[in-house]
Amino acid sequence: MLVLEKNSLSEEIGKLVDLYGKDRSSLLPILQGIEKNHKYISDFAQQEVARLLDIHPVEVYSVVTFYSFLTHKPMGRNVVRLCQTITCDMFGKEAVAKAIERELGIKFGETTKDKSVTLEYANCLGMCDQGPAMLVNDQVYSHLTPEKAIEILEKLK
């Protein structure tokens, strides 16, 4: 990482700390902010958060690795999360999953080469009456068919 990049990331984290407060209870909102902007929380970012909140970096790492929406490995610019829980499964999740894998040329848990999409499974998204459902970043899509899912993904490019 370049010194310039480090400086700008430090500055950005400093702003998040100012916004949410220099308190342990601000840890999640701060990490969520970094995740949103950078699609992951790098080792350096974790250390910076720890320094500014005056806690041990391992505390930050422990929290990052606990929550499935916080990641310490780089994600794609868009994160697609397909619901794998039972009702979505019953109404065609598998066909949607296969279509997405074919179209993007990656498996679940992977990121496309151009870093545009990371594909993941999620547990129940609370759309059980309208499955199969998926989240694309923070937007939810329901009543998916293979065709409809691909149409949505096309728009991301």
Partner 1 sequence: MENKVKREGAVIFSEYNRGDAVKKAISIGREDVLFELKESKLRGRGGAGFPTSTKWMLTAAAKSDKKYVICNADEGEPGTFKDRVLLLEYPELVFDGMVVGGYAIGAKEGIVYLRGEYEYMLKSLQDYLEEMRKDNLLGKDILGKKGFDFDIIIRLGSGAYVCGEETALIESLEGHRGEARNRPPFPVNTGLNGKPTTVNNVETFASVAHIVTKGGSWYSQHGTDKSTGSKLFSVSGDCKKPGVYELPWGTTINELLKIVEADNTKAVQVGGASGLCISKSQFDRQLGYEDLGTGGSIMVFNESRNMLHVLKNFMEFFVEESCGQCTPCRIGNVKLLEGVEMIEKGEYTFNYINKLKELGETMRISSKCGLGQSSPNPFISILENFKEEIFNNGKGGK
Show Cβ contacts of residue 155 under 8 Å, excluding neighbours closer than 6 positions: none
Name the packing angle between helices 57-66 and 27-38 (round to 10°). 70
Candidates 125, 144, 149, 153: give the one binding partner 1 (CB under 8 A).
125
Instruction: Please state, in angstroms and rounded to a whole number, the distance separating the CA atoms of residues 96 and 106.
Output: 14
The stretch among 11-19, 63-71, 105-113, 149-157 that binds partner 1 (CB under 8 A) is: 63-71
Give the nearest distance from C-beta 4 to partner 1 in angstroms.
Answer: 29
Q: Which is nearer to partner 1, 114 or 138 (CB)?
A: 138
| The two structure tokens encoding residue 39 | 């699609």
Buried b / exposed e along 9-24 (16+ C-beta atoms within 10 A)? bbebbeebbeebeeee
Q: Taking CB under 8 A as the rule, does residue 63 contact partner 1? A: yes
Q: Taking CB under 8 A as the rule, does residue 69 contact partner 1? A: yes
* Of 66, 10, 62, the residue nearest 38 (C-alpha): 10
Binding mask 80-119 for partner 1 (x = CB under 8 A): ----xxxx-xx-----------------------------
Q: Taking CB under 8 A as the rule, does residue 123 contact partner 1? A: yes
Q: Taking CB under 8 A as the rule, does residue 154 contact partner 1? A: no
